[in-house]
Amino acid sequence: MKNLTIVFFLFLCGLTMGQNEGEWKNSAFTFTPEILFGKTMEGNEGFPSTRFQKQIVLSFGRYHTNDPQQWAQQLKGPKTGISMGVTDFGNLDTLGLAFSVLPFIEFKVFGNERLTFQTAMGASYSTKKHDPETNPQNNVVTTDLTWAFRSYFYYMFLRGDNIDWRLGLGYSHHSNGHMRLLNIGFNSFLVSLSADIKNPLKYPENENAILPNYNQTVYDYFAFRGGFGQNVLGVAINDRQNVYTIAGEYGRVYNNTYKVGIGFYARLYEHYHNYIIDNESLVQTGREFEYFKDNPLYYASNLGISIHGEVFLNHIGIDLQLGYNIYKPAYKLDYRINEGWENTPREIPTDWVLGDLNFKYKIKHRISSRIGLKYYLIGMENSPKNNFYLGAHLSANLGQADFSELSFGYVYNFNFRER
């Protein structure tokens, strides 16, 4: 499931690069080599020792300054593309290397022509992972493939006719989306030096490009989706099981580019349900969650409300959701198992120290988040009345991965009007 989700992400990368028409895109092509140095932050007390982290990244992108599409003009000519990198986390024997592929979008910020912000999300392959016999010190990654994320500010300190030199500062993250434990993941802060090589293939420039003038528009929409995700419950119950989701939302789309909305979501966690009906340790007679057996479906469910934001790049949607869990009762059981002593066994003794239901628990219990990409059947440039999409997302409890998900959705757009 995780591999399928990541493959779909990479499929969207190619679509993002290839969905445009027109000769402008030839001369807008860029090639950017980048070197980065920084530190892999310790995720817990047993985190392997590391030296300085080193990365080499090659990015292939396209500036959309002369792109006639509405989204490109609304976003003031951003750059989109694909980055491929190699990371040495500072401990080759234990942590190995990570090879990453990430689609990205980069745009100017604070009205400054020299300052840009880039965000990217994709996948990475690790050459070393946890093995209790051959690599027990690696408690960071337990799967070959992981999600990868990076967020960077860049400052162009030297501008040239063919090359712009840039300094960067940002954050990188690798984790497997809670598809197998252990899953501490890598969190790193780095500085970078890069050379943005413009039009390396020497396509002729179109200096007389005429860009269309778009009217300001707004319309309401309603959307409904179904999702299929997977995760694991704990180190002792480390098999992947399903998370089923239905969700709806209502909101507005501005200029065929920006979407904001409010919605609801309802989920059923197979792990929670099976833990209850199989009479596992913490729901047995006399234990803290014995009452879960009165209604397994209810206690394995999750209901919440959400705020949505999305940016459309014609067929591609960059999607972000922030939610509030009205109820998610089994997360208390989940937290008890995973936030106490390490390596909680499946049969938990009554004197075992379980996770304390502290302020951290209360925040993670209530706040959910979701980030990912969508591919729309009909491009948003056409303001379609009816549309369908496929999505790949990573859902989290606050900032900690909860499950990876593929989804299918339907969107109904009401008549749009000029503002």
Q: pLDDT tens digits for 228-287? A: 999 999 889 989 999 999 999 999 999 999 999 999 999 999 999 999 999 999 999 999
Task: Please check whether residues 173 and 276 belong to one and the same domain.
Answer: no
Tokens of 359: 């302020």
| Average pLDDT of the chain to the nearest whole number | 89
Please give the pLDDT value at position 273: 98
**184 and 238 within one domain:** no
On whether both 51 and 107 belong to a single domain, the answer is yes
Distances (CA, A) of 202 to 18, 26, 159, 199, 205: 20, 9, 18, 5, 8
Strands 186-198 and 217-231: unpaired
**Which of 31-35, 70-74, 214-218, 371-375 has the highest average model confidence (pLDDT)?**
31-35
Contact 334, 357 (CB under 8 A): no
**Is the Cβ–Cβ distance between 271 and 283 less than 8 Å?**
no
Domain membership of residue 235 (yes or no) is: yes
What percent of the chain has a predicted confidence (pLDDT) above 70?
91
Residue 24: pLDDT over 80? no
- Domain boundary pick from 164, 198, 232: 198
In a domain, 207, yes or no: no
pLDDT (tens digit per residue) in 134-151: 888 888 888 888 889 999
What is the spatial distance between Cα 394 and Cα 405, in angstroms, rounded to a whole number? 6
Domain presence at residue 323: yes
Q: Which of 198, 228, 262 is the C-terminal boundary of a domain?
A: 198
In a domain, 210, yes or no: no
Q: For residue 94, what is the domain's CATH number?
A: 2.40.160.20
Residue 15 has pLDDT above 60, yes or no: no
Q: Which residues lie below 8 Å from residue 64, measured CB to CB, with a gap of 6+?
A: 28, 72, 75, 77, 78, 79, 80
| Residue 204 counted as domain residue | no
Give the domain extent around 101. Answer: 2-198
Q: 279 and 178 share a domain? A: no
Q: What is the mean pLDDT of residues 150-168?
A: 95
Tell me whether residue 138 is in a domain: yes
Q: What are phi and psi of 377, to 5 degrees?
A: -60, -40
102 lies in the same domain as 52:
yes
Q: What is the total count of domains within the chain?
A: 2
Query: pLDDT band at residue 299, thresholds of 50, 70 and 90?
Result: very high
C-alpha to C-alpha distance for 190 and 212, rounded to whole angstroms: 40
What is the pTM (predicted TM-score) of this model? 0.87
Query: Is 52 part of a structural domain of the chain?
Result: yes
Q: What residues does 218 pair with on adjacent strands? A: 254, 417
Query: Does residue 211 sit within a domain?
Result: no
According to the model, what pLDDT value does residue 253 have?
95
Last residue of a domain, one of 198, 225, 254: 198
Do 168 and 294 belong to one domain? Answer: no
Q: Give per-residue pLDDT as tens, 60-114.
A: 998 988 888 899 889 988 999 999 999 999 999 999 999 999 989 999 998 888 9
Number of neighbours of residue 269 by Cβ within 10 angstroms: 25
Domain shared by 71 and 10, yes or no = yes
Same domain, 273 and 125: no
Verify that 391 and 255 share a domain, yes or no.
yes
- 116 and 237, same structural domain? no
pLDDT > 90 fraction of the chain, expressed in percent and rounded: 62
| Of 229, 267, 269, 262, nearest in space to 248 by CA | 262
Same domain, yes or no: 245 and 143 = no
The pLDDT-based confidence of 401 (bands split at 50, 70, 90) is confident
Same domain for 180 and 315, yes or no, is: no
